[in-house]
Amino acid sequence: MSLAINGGTPVRTMPFPVWPVWGDEEIEGLTRVIKSGKWGRLAGKESECFEKQFAEAHAAKHGIAINSGTTALRIALTAADVDAGDEVIVPAYTFIATASAAVEAGAVPIFVDIDRDTYNIDVRLIEAAITPRTKAIMPVHFAGRPADMDAIMKIAARHHLVVIEDAAQAWGSAWKGRPVGAIGAAGCFSFQSSKNINCGEGGIILTNDDLVAKFARSHHNCGRSEDGLWYEHFYFGGNYRITEFQSAVLLAQFGRYEELKAIRRANLDLLNELLGGIEGISPLPMQEEVTSHSCHLYIFRYDKRAFAGKSKQLFIDAMRKEGIPTSPGYSIPLYKQPVFMNKSFGPRGRKVDLPVDYASNFCPESEKACYEEAIWFTQSVLLGTEEDMQDIAAAVRKIQLHADELKG
């Protein structure tokens, strides 16, 4: 049986489930907003209703819906009193928004390597990165798997730091039974189009801190105060408000979230079983402290030694030809992104002199994940059937059996 990449018959030709999943509820919500004539969040009730539902589901006192998850991170940092020149510790293996939010807040991101078993920030390395300028730790609950919040909160307390959770992929995830997002000073979620809860673009800040909530609300609403006049602006801010259209869609999406999450989790467990027995394929182990997982991504480590020494990218190319949508994930660690290597944070990319040398960073686990090991399946793949998961495993086994036929 020849590999599809060499002209053979692929394992499958049927597509995997498409994203987003939507139905009458989204249409009804959008129609409701249009007919109300109240399209902005300050006039209607959709955004307020969504904020309340989402905050309650995550054991948070406050929810502030924002126009994007990236903006939510920046506003949360500012609301938590992170100032110009402060350092913010972030993982090296994550989407750029985690670090760029710190830059936008005037702070300096400091990169720390990941734990190879979780792909979350390695808590054993955090304290070595703390300096007198450190103000915050921003753990990422990567792929929906909560970071070790016990260790992170203890480190933060010991060094008087604030914790801002990047929960962009972790809707409904929980650490030891406690929902992520309001464990630290604040947590930020994304509703961008690829996310498990989706309104095209959007985000939310959760917090149990009244002062953080006060400043986050003000900053996202042009610096206004809740009890002030419309044209009174007490603090520096901008218009980062979500619309009633987005919130109506989010209410509908949130209504079916648990049902879809259960499908993803069942398929994640099945893939762990199917792929865990294949030499050279190592699904990330599940910690018992992770009591709920959003399953935004399925990730395994690839060892080319079990595949005739063929590169990660060649394996991915072969998987795609077999009909399996497979992703390499992040291509380079954040500290090697041109914007950080060149410190081009100024207007039109002008260099900004910062007291940190990103070129000297070396995070070995992040580099291995980017260049050699990490393989992703997206959340829409996890909405497939049991037969779909069997096809994924069949494709991996087929490629392994014929790995010496791969060219490149």
d(C-alpha 40, C-alpha 58), whole Å: 25
Q: Token pair of 295, please?
A: 């399953």
pLDDT tens digits along 346-390: 999 999 988 899 999 999 999 999 999 999 999 999 999 999 999
Residue 280: its pLDDT value, please? Answer: 98
From 400, 182, 387, 207, select the one nearest 309 (Cα to Cα).
400
d(C-alpha 110, C-alpha 396), whole Å: 37
d(C-alpha 240, C-alpha 246), whole Å: 13
Residue 125: its pLDDT value, please? Answer: 98
CATH of 4-13+257-405, one of 3.40.50.720, 3.40.640.10, 3.40.630.10, 3.90.1150.10: 3.90.1150.10
Q: pTM to 2 decimals?
A: 0.97
- Residues pairing with 221 in the sheet: 239
Residues 41 and 47 sit within 8 Å (Cβ to Cβ): yes
Residue 235: its pLDDT value, please? Answer: 87
Tell whether the torsion through CA atoms of 305, 310, 313 and 314 is positive or negative.
negative
Residues 67 and 201 sit within 8 Å (Cβ to Cβ): yes
d(C-alpha 338, C-alpha 351), whole Å: 11
d(C-alpha 371, C-alpha 258), whole Å: 34
CATH of 24-255, one of 3.90.550.10, 3.40.640.10, 3.40.605.10, 3.40.50.720: 3.40.640.10
d(C-alpha 73, C-alpha 187), whole Å: 8
Residues 116 and 301 sit within 8 Å (Cβ to Cβ): yes
* Cα 404 from chain centre: 36
C-alpha distance from residue 101 to each of 140, 195, 277, 292, 350 (Å):
13, 19, 40, 27, 18
pLDDT tens digits along 48-93: 999 999 999 999 999 999 999 999 999 999 999 999 999 999 999 9
* Cα 381 from chain centre: 17
d(C-alpha 405, C-alpha 179), whole Å: 47
- Helices 244-255 and 46-57, axial angle in degrees (round to 10): 40
Going from N- to C-terminal start, the domains of the chain cover 4-13+257-405, 24-255
From 172, 189, 376, 375, select the one nearest 290 (Cα to Cα).
172
Residues 131 and 159 sit within 8 Å (Cβ to Cβ): no
- Give counts: helices (H), strands (E), the chain: 12, 13
Long-range contacts of 206-209 (CB under 8 A, 24+ apart): 206/54, 206/55, 206/58, 206/60, 206/62, 206/63, 206/167, 206/181, 206/182, 207/60, 207/61, 207/62, 207/64, 207/76, 207/79, 207/182, 208/60, 208/61, 208/62, 208/182, 209/62, 209/80, 209/185
Low-confidence ranges of the chain (pLDDT < 50): none
